[in-house]
Amino acid sequence: IGVSRASLWLISKTMLTLWPKFSLIDKITKTNVFRLKPLQKITLEARVVGDGGQVFESHAHFIATRHGQVDVCREPSVGGSYRGVSAMGLLWSMKPSPGQRKGIRLTKSDVTKPYKVVLDCFDGHTDPQESSSLPPLSSNTFEKGYMADGVKRIPVREGRIRGTLFLPPGDGPFPGE
8-state DSSP, 69: -
* Residue 91 near residue 56 (C-beta atoms within 8 A): no
Q: What is the pLDDT of residues 114-130, one digit of tens each?
A: 999 999 999 999 998 88
Longest CA span, the chain: 77
- Residue 60's Cβ-count burial label (10 Å; 0-12, 13-18, 19+) is buried
pLDDT at position 29 over 90: yes
**Residue 3 pLDDT class (50, 70, 90 cuts):** low
Query: 111 φ, ψ to 5°?
Result: -70, -5
**Percent of the chain residues topping a pLDDT of 90:** 80
User: Would you say residue 5 has pLDDT above 90?
Assistant: no
Cα–Cα distance list, 33 to 75, 100, 108, 156 (Å):
11, 30, 29, 45
Distance CA 50, CA 168 (A): 26
Instruction: Note the residue count of the chain.
Output: 177
Q: Is the peptide bond before 175 cis (omega within 30 degrees of 0)?
A: no
Give the chain's radius of gyration (CA, Å). Answer: 20
Stretch 19-36: mean pLDDT:
97
pTM (two decimals):
0.86
pLDDT digits (tens, 9 = 90+) for 139-170: 999 999 999 999 999 999 999 999 999 899 98
Q: Are 121 and 42 in contact (CB under 8 A)?
A: yes
Q: How far is CA 111 from CA 23, 27, 52, 94, in A?
A: 13, 16, 13, 19
